[in-house]
Amino acid sequence: MNAIKMNAIKLPLIILLTLVCLSCNSQDKETYWKLEDIYRADKKPFIGLTALSMQEILDYNFHFMKRNDSLNFELPEKFQLDINQFKSLRQLNITAKDYYEMYGYEFSGDRFVIKFKDNATMSDSKNTVIEFKRITKDEFMNSVEEAIVGKKKRLESINSLKNELEKQPKIALNSVNKLPLKSQSILTDKGGEIFLKIPNEIELKESGDIKNETFGQIKIGTLKDNSKIYDVEHKEDDYGLKQLTIWVSTDTSSFNMDEYISENPNIHVFRKDKNSIVGYDIDYDFENERAEIHSFFCLKYYKVGDSHVFIYSDVYRSQMKNFPNLEEMNKILNFNYSISENIAIKGN
């Protein structure tokens, strides 16, 4: 009789312990996810620069492991995100994308979607979806390992090209002539005035185009806080997006040219002066599996009171009519560099 009572007591305890264990296993279950696609909610295609921006997000190749409310990312770098605190795409370290307004996310079966409004486009089609696909642990581990090996291979190719450029430079800088100068002032977003000396042959005009650029921790853009952008207009020459631009920010972050160079492995410096650099931006061509020169650039920096002034141009190979065209790239780079070297802060 006592044995029957003991068994009657043990049975509910066993059932309870089993339920607790199942609950714990359910809570601790890990699932694995990889970035699958990005598209407009209305299925309309991306156009122009928007298509390039969306491809940049795909190129991040996000991979994460989900455990309870924690998303543990392995790619493009290691970081952790609490899903309950997920409010902005900036938390995914998508730099310079403050104009992407996240409005929701959802796990549904083997799909995880993040929804955001693309305020950088002039199109009526703005609502955008980033879609992740659930995969197995083995698929996840293999995919991450493949990405790490690929990254190492790309870095080796980039460093090899840098060594070649040291021996055989593609940039041909002309000596800079002093140009007749005039005084002009520009405004910061806070209404502060910055006084410049600029060549007589140019005018500075606040940009009406949608532009965005990042210098270290400082993000400057048409739709960003703390920002003003000025186009350099020349009486005779107009190189469009390749032409020199002045970027002004009142961001409280600091900027250091040496740190900027060291933190950008794709940059290779051709010439460095006290507050300016000229060099190459190197990219990796996935189709041909090799590093290549993406652009020639020149950058000059001033700190004026609480403001940052970046005088910058980026001459992209893909914008050349006869791509690739080093002669044309050098022509535009020298034009921009000459103008840049003749721009100074009044009083400096």
Give tens-digit pLDDT for 230-283. Answer: 999 998 887 887 899 999 999 999 999 999 999 999 999 999 998 999 999 998
Kind and range of the H or E element at 58?
helix 49-59
Looking at the structure, do residues 114 and 238 belong to the same domain, yes or no?
A: no
| pLDDT exceeds 80 at position 179 | yes
What confidence score (pLDDT) does residue 211 get? 83
Sequence-ordered alpha helix ranges (H) in 67-215: 137-167
List the Cα angle 313/314/320 in 5-degree steps. 125
Q: Which residue would you say has higher pLDDT here, 138 or 219?
A: 138
Residues 185 and 331 in one domain: yes
Flag whether pLDDT at 23 surpasses 80: no
The answer, yes or no, to whether residue 212 has pLDDT greater than 90, is: no
* Residue 1 resides in a domain: no
Are residues 258 and 126 part of one domain? no
CA 292 to chain centre: 19
What CATH number is associated with residue 321?
3.40.1000
Average pLDDT over residues 273-302: 93
> Is residue 157 assigned to a domain?
no
Residue after which a domain boundary falls, among 112, 135, 158: 135
Residue 80 belongs to a domain: yes
* Average pLDDT for 146-165: 94
| Average pLDDT estimate for 175-192 | 94
226 plus 285 within the same structural domain: yes
- pLDDT for 247 equals 97
Please give the Cα distance from 38 to 118 (Å, whole number). 12
Residue type, 317: R
Residue 68 structure tokens: 């309870």
* pLDDT value at residue 21: 43
Range of 83's domain?
A: 28-135
Q: How many domains does the chain have?
A: 2
Find how far residue 305's CA is from the centre of its chain. Answer: 27
Q: Is 78 domain-assigned? A: yes
pLDDT in tens, 48-93: 778 888 998 999 999 999 999 999 999 999 999 999 999 999 899 8
Which CATH number does the domain housing residue 47 bear? 2.40.128
What pLDDT, on a 0 to 100 scale, did the predictor assign at position 286?
83
Q: What is the pLDDT of residue 98?
A: 64
Q: Cis bond leading into 76, ω under 30°?
A: yes
101 and 213 fall within a common domain: no
Region for residue 93 given its phi and psi (left: phi exceeds 0; alpha: psi -120 to 50; beta: otherwise): left
| Arithmetic mean of pLDDT, 171-189 | 95
Q: 292: part of which helix (H) or strand (E)?
A: strand 290-304
Instruction: Provide CB contacts within 8 A for 8, sequence distance 6+.
Output: none
Give the end of a domain, one of 113, 135, 157.
135
